[in-house]
């Protein structure tokens, strides 16, 4: 079992990368229908949001006043790497599929990542897996739906 600091960084980074990147991809696709814009958005979010979330975890861990400096930095680095790596993996479908298909593949990939991680969490907490998985997938689906409609609204407003 990984140390608390590593587990914190990985769990936050994976979850945040998946939901944020899916929302960005779906919204940009709906708003621009441009593969170049979606890839650029993923790269930007992989860098900027990874640094932002890593700093957020760093400050959060510091504010608890119960972690050592090395533990805080482990959580910070684990968050950055998890966020950057997982967000970047969403570029792969865009390299192999047309944009519409790549978005569908990415949503399925993201939901699978969340499901597997949620199953891991549920087992570790002694919870019912379907409840934890369902809760996490519901949040992701809401984000995908909202960002899709926001992308369409922006496209309509700016046209």
Q: Is residue 8 part of a domain?
A: yes
State the Cα angle at 44 between 58 and 114, rounded to 5°: 65
Q: Is residue 92 part of a domain?
A: yes
What pLDDT, on the 0 to 100 scale, is given for residue 50?
A: 94
Q: Using CA atoms in the order 149, 48, 43, 82, what is the torsion angle rounded to 10 degrees? A: -100
What pLDDT, on the 0 to 100 scale, is given for residue 66?
A: 87
Q: Is residue 158 part of a domain?
A: no
Instruction: Pinpoint the alpha helices (H) of 3-128.
Output: 4-32, 35-63, 69-89, 91-96, 99-125
What pLDDT, on the 0 to 100 scale, is given for residue 4?
A: 75
Q: Is residue 48 part of a domain?
A: yes
| Cα(27)–Cα(6) distance, integer angstroms | 31
CB 25 within 8 A of CB 38: yes
CB 91 within 8 A of CB 64: no
| Cα(144)–Cα(141) distance, integer angstroms | 5
- As for how many domains the chain has, the answer is 1
What pLDDT, on the 0 to 100 scale, is given for residue 43?
A: 96
Q: Is residue 90 part of a domain?
A: yes
Range of the domain at 32: 4-153
pLDDT tens, residue order, the chain (159 aa): 468 777 877 888 889 999 999 999 999 999 999 999 999 999 999 999 999 999 998 999 899 888 888 888 988 998 999 999 999 999 999 999 999 999 999 999 999 999 999 998 889 888 888 998 999 999 999 999 999 999 999 999 998
What pLDDT, on the 0 to 100 scale, is given for residue 13?
A: 84
What pLDDT, on the 0 to 100 scale, is given for residue 2?
A: 63
- Judge if pTM exceeds 0.85: yes
């Amino acid at each position: 079992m990984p140390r608390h600091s590593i587990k914190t960084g990985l769990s936050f980074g994976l979850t945040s990368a998946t939901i944020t990147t899916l929302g960005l991809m779906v919204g940009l696709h709906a708003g621009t229908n441009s593969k170049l814009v979606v890839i650029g958005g993923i790269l930007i979010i992989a860098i900027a949001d990874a640094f932002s979330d890593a700093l957020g975890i760093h400050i959060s861990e510091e504010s608890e006043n119960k972690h050592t400096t090395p533990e805080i930095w482990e959580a910070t680095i684990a968050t950055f790497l998890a966020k950057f790596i997982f967000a970047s993996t969403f570029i792969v479908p865009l390299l192999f599929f047309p944009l519409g298909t790549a978005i569908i593949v990415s949503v399925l990939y993201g939901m699978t990542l969340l499901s597997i991680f949620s199953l891991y969490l549920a087992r570790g907490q002694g919870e019912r897996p379907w409840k934890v998985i369902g809760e996490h997938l519901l949040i992701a689906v809401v984000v995908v739906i909202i960002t899709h409609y926001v992308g369409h609204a922006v496209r309509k407003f700016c046209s």
